[in-house]
Amino acid sequence: MGADAAPSLAGRLRPFVEKGQLAGAVALVVDREKVLSVDAVSFADVARRKPMKSDALFWIASQTKPMTAVAVMMLVDEGKVALDDAVDKYLPEFRGQMVVAEKNGDHTVLRRPGHPITVREVLCHTSGMPFQSPLETPTHDTLALASLVRSYAMIPLQTEPGTHYQYSSAGINIAGRIVEVVSGMPYEDFMRRRLFDPLGMKDTTFWPTESQTRRLAKAYRPDAGGVALKEMPIAQLAYPLSDRTHRFPIPAGGLFSTARDTARFCQMLLNGGQSNGRRLLSEKSFVELTRRQTPASVKENYGLCLALGPDGFGHGGALATGMDIRPGPGIATIWMVQHAGFPGDGGKAQGVFRDWALERHGKPVAR
């Protein structure tokens, strides 16, 4: 079937909507230069029957991580950070950090690790840091970044650095703090000035304004029976979301964005670190981002805050958002939903979208 004759995406996703397995979605496809398609499906607010629109705002959660990694690599390009430097070169509170040698119900034995954790290791989840600090409850965003990262320095490593893959938001928050210390500006200011503004990501923020909040898609989870959708708050974040006094940026997962804004970031990656003829990352740094960083001894294939596959790379978020960059055909897919789980087969909708995008837009292109 030719691309023009391919069934519409709305038609492909309709069964998930009709069965109550998908509240709503924005699905966008770009190539290196332009938007190829954008579909807004079903509802941003099911109870109020508010239609999903293409400019809807979403909490993109861990899709913040690769954006933080790009910020670190900008400083690498400037010679201000080296990936194999010890974290404690920039954050002295990590000097003397220990690793768990033995642990049972009665006691924990600590020892010195073979080497201090490195910048590379925190960016590829092999530092041995736990997922988060005990202080990140009930929400993740009520401690200033400097205070949050100091709490990590008091926690022993769970595994020897560089030997195991253990997904760690703490590690990426450490990387964000390094950006702050080395650049001499707040992490969120660096992200705005060096990444979001140059890319035109005007709707990407840690603090949605009142007008942006009106465009925020509601979040859903399966009900107790697992057969219907139940509206929910974003449990990981404190409300009101616009509160800049008591809420703080999370380098590992705090951003809100739109499909079009996230697409601009993906296009920069599709173009090897360039946007509109301006290079944001050197070719060397782009290669570091997108090559395997995890050791051959672990099954996880991970770059610097990017999950790697045979045909490309990308990252997802806690509420099932996703971006998938395919350099071969020269396209990226951006999937925006707000789901903490799905009734029935709702979780398969993103794969249906990705397959449709590759079918319709995925012909290899010459560079």
For 288-331, the pLDDT digits (tens) are 999 999 999 999 999 999 999 999 999 999 999 999 999 999 99
Phi, psi (5° rounding) for residue 324? Answer: -135, 115
For 239-285, the pLDDT digits (tens) are 999 999 999 999 999 999 999 999 999 999 999 999 999 999 999 99
For 33-53, the pLDDT digits (tens) are 999 999 999 999 999 999 999
**DSSP string covering 278-346, please?**
EESS-HHHHHHHHS--S-TTSS--B-SS-EE-SS-EEEE-TTS-EEEEETTTTEEEEEE--BSS-STTG
H/E element, 264: helix 259-270
Helix, strand, or coil (residue 57): strand
Q: Where are the domains of the chain?
A: 3-64+187-361, 67-183
Residue range 93-109: mean pLDDT, rounded: 89
Instruction: State the chain's mean pLDDT as an integer.
Output: 95
Nearest 10 degrees: Cα torsion 62, 67, 68, 72: 150
pLDDT for the residue numbered 7: 76
Please say if the pLDDT value at position 4 is more than 60.
Answer: no
> 172 near 305, Cβ under 8 Å?
yes
pLDDT for the residue numbered 364: 59
Can you list the pairs that 282-291 forms with residues at least 24 positions away whose Cβ atoms lie under 8 Å? 282/77, 284/77, 285/73, 285/74, 285/76, 285/77, 286/73, 288/73, 288/76, 288/83, 289/66, 289/69, 289/70, 289/73
For 9-37, the pLDDT digits (tens) are 999 999 999 999 999 999 999 999 999 99
pLDDT for the residue numbered 322: 98
For 327-366, the pLDDT digits (tens) are 999 999 999 999 999 999 999 999 999 999 999 998 755 4
CA atoms in the 13 A half-sphere facing the CB of 9: 28
For 202-243, the pLDDT digits (tens) are 999 999 999 999 999 999 999 999 999 999 999 999 999 999
**Neighbour-count burial of 48, counting CB atoms closer than 10 A to its CB (0-12 exposed, 13-18 middle, 19+ buried):** exposed
pLDDT for the residue numbered 106: 81
Distance CA(339)–CA(308), nearest Å, equals 23
**CATH homologous superfamily for 67-183?**
DD-peptidase/beta-lactamase superfamily (3.40.710.10)
Which two structure tokens, joined as six digits, stand for 7? 């069934």
Q: Same CATH fold, 67-183 and 3-64+187-361?
A: yes
Which two structure tokens, joined as six digits, stand for 230? 């139940």
> 56 near 319, Cβ under 8 Å?
no
pLDDT for the residue numbered 1: 42
Predicted structure pTM score: 0.95
> 69 near 315, Cβ under 8 Å?
no
Distance CA(19)–CA(31), nearest Å, equals 32
**CATH of the structural domain 3-64+187-361, one choice from 1.20.1300.10, 3.40.50.2300, 1.10.10.10, 3.40.710.10:** 3.40.710.10
Distance CA(95)–CA(98), nearest Å, equals 9
**Neighbour-count burial of 198, counting CB atoms closer than 10 A to its CB (0-12 exposed, 13-18 middle, 19+ buried):** middle
Q: Which residues contact 293 (CB under 8 A, 6 or more apart)?
A: 120, 123, 124, 126, 302, 303, 304
Cα dist from 250 to 142, 246, 360, whole Å? 10, 13, 36
Please say if the pLDDT value at position 6 is more than 90.
Answer: no
Q: What is the CA radius of gyration of the chain?
A: 21
Please say if the pLDDT value at position 102 is more than 90.
Answer: no
Q: Which residues contact 146 (CB under 8 A, 6 or more apart)?
A: 177, 180
Query: What is the amino acid identity at position 362?
Result: G
Which two structure tokens, joined as six digits, stand for 65? 């991580």
